Amino acid sequence: MPSPIQRWPAPVAGRSLTVSHGGLVYAVAYDPDAAQGIAAQTTNALAFLDARLAEAGSDKSRLLQVTIYLQDMTMKPQMDAVWTPWIGPAAHWPQRACMGADIGDGGTTLIEIVAIAAQA
C-alpha cells in the first residue's frame, strides 16, 4: 500500500506550500511580507522555509535539493551572504541551483525557494 500524500495548502487556490510523500518533503518558500531588499527577503523566506519543513517533520539539515529563483541575478552575492550562515556546516549542504526568473508579481517578490528534503 503506497504511503499517503499529505498536503499543506497555500493561501492561494490551486497550490500547496508543502507536500509530503514517501519520506520526502516538497516545499516552496518566499517572503510573505515582501520586505525591502534581497537580504531581508532571503532572511524571511528562509524562516518561512524552516516553518514549512517543520510542519512536515523535517528541517534544513535534511535538505536534499534546493532551487532558488531570484528576480535579479545580480542579487545573488547578497542572497548567498544570508544563505551560507543559515545552511550551516557542509554536512547540511543540499544540491543547490540558483536561477534568474521573472517571478511575476511586478518585482515585489525578489526570491522564491523550492526545496526537497527527507523527513526525519
Indicate which CATH number applies to the domain containing 71.
3.30.1330.40
Instruction: Give the rounded percent of residues in the chain with a pLDDT score beyond 70.
Output: 98
Is residue 68 in a domain? yes
> Residue written as cell 519520506?
23
The pLDDT value recorded for residue 3 is 77
Is residue 88 in a domain? yes
What digits encode the pLDDT tens for the residues 17-43? 999 999 999 999 999 999 999 999 999
Lowest mean pLDDT among 12-16, 60-64, 106-110: 106-110
Is residue 4 in a domain? no
Write down the pTM of the prediction: 0.94
Cβ atoms 115, 65 nearer than 8 A: yes
Q: Which residues pair with 1 in a beta bridge?
A: none
Cβ atoms 7, 90 nearer than 8 A: no
What's the number of domains the chain is made of?
Answer: 1
Q: Which of 110, 120, 103, 111 lies closest to 25, judged by CA?
A: 120
